[in-house]
Amino acid sequence: MGFPVKRPRRLRTSASIRRLVRETAVAPSDLILPLFFNEAIDAPKPVQTMPGVSQLPVSQAAAVAREAHARGLGGVILFGLPKTKDDKGSSALDAKGPVPRAVAAMKDAVPDLVVMTDVCVDEYTDHGHCGLLRKKKNGEIEVDNDRTIEVLAKMALIHAKAGADVVAPSDMMDGRVRAIRTELDREGFDGTAILSYAVKYASSFYGPFREAADCAPKFGDRAGYQMDPGNAREALREARLDEDEGADMLMVKPALAYLDVIRAVRESSTLPLFAYNVSGEYSMLQAAAAANMIDLDRAILEVLVSIRRAGADAILTYHAHRAAELLDA
């Protein structure tokens, strides 16, 4: 008498059984919605390269907060577009700028909503780089790491004073987590958490974001401070450094082309791990769906599950609202 035939398909025979034995799931509370607040507009301004996404006036911050909370999202992360820019990113330190004002309005409207802020000067500099610049002796231009982290620490403090629960440095400057933690603690904001973009690659998938945040570099690229796509072991070093400097959470960006890196960082750290499902990844799905190549709703959930399965605890995604609708259906 032979052994019974193993039939894994028994656990796939109905939707209820599949749901019961599902290994990885996504909930609305796992999702963070990125938002762009432009202080120069009075009505939403659609981002042409990101169908369904708009720059928003600060006056809509409270309403957007209420919607995110009603959807059960884990939180929001804010990016700012100022009226004026200069080579020093001076408007990043304006306590009445678009991000501090939006933070205050959101926390006033929905105190329980987790509000995060991007801490980087690329949206505020006229050259579009993530740091202040200096000229080397040979005449070449480079990012001045140490001057930049001084600005980032002050910027993070302004966001914390406005009410931000989490500040998220995305610049990839060395030592910025320690500088921000020191500044926040010294000023009494030791309860403000730091979500570090610890592993951020120099990726082609950021293109649509640069329209949304008006931050495309006017010359050169960011390969001198963002990570080389071929490196994975370096990701572990970067994550470990930021953890040692006081980061409370870590992030890998982008997500889909770096699922192996998400897994590697997950296995090397016990900190909460986030992944950014970036603008190019979002727009690819939108474009494919518009051309009737894919079922958009199924693709959204499949992508998010893949990122969670790789090891991310939470996901920054422009599909957050639609995904929450699908998950609650």
Residue 83 known to be catalytic:
no
CA-based end-to-end distance of the chain: 48
Q: What would the two tokens of residue 165 be?
A: 């629960």
In the set 6, 85, 107, 253, the catalytic residue is: 253
Are the beta carbons of 307 and 319 closer than 8 angstroms?
no
Query: Cα(267)–Cα(312) distance, rounded to whole angstroms?
Result: 11
Following DSSP, what letter does each residue of 307-328 receive, concatenated?
A: HHHHT-SEEEETTHHHHHHHHH
Torsional sign, CA 45, 50, 51, 52: negative
Contacts of 269 (CB under 8 A, 6+ apart): 239, 240, 243, 250
Residue 253 known to be catalytic:
yes
In the set 6, 135, 200, 218, the catalytic residue is: 200
Burial of 22 (0-12, 13-18, 19+ CB in 10 A): exposed
Query: Cα(110)–Cα(65) distance, rounded to whole angstroms?
Result: 6
Phi/psi of residue 84, nearest 5 degrees = -130, 150
In Å, how far are 45, 49, 206 from 52, measured between CA atoms? 10, 9, 17
Paired strand residues for 276: 316
Phi and psi based region of residue 160 (left: phi greater than 0; alpha: psi -120 to 50; beta: remaining): alpha
Burial of 298 (0-12, 13-18, 19+ CB in 10 A): exposed
Residue with tokens 């659609």, as numbered in its chain: 46
Q: What would the two tokens of residue 80 be?
A: 């700012």
Catalytic residues: 200, 253
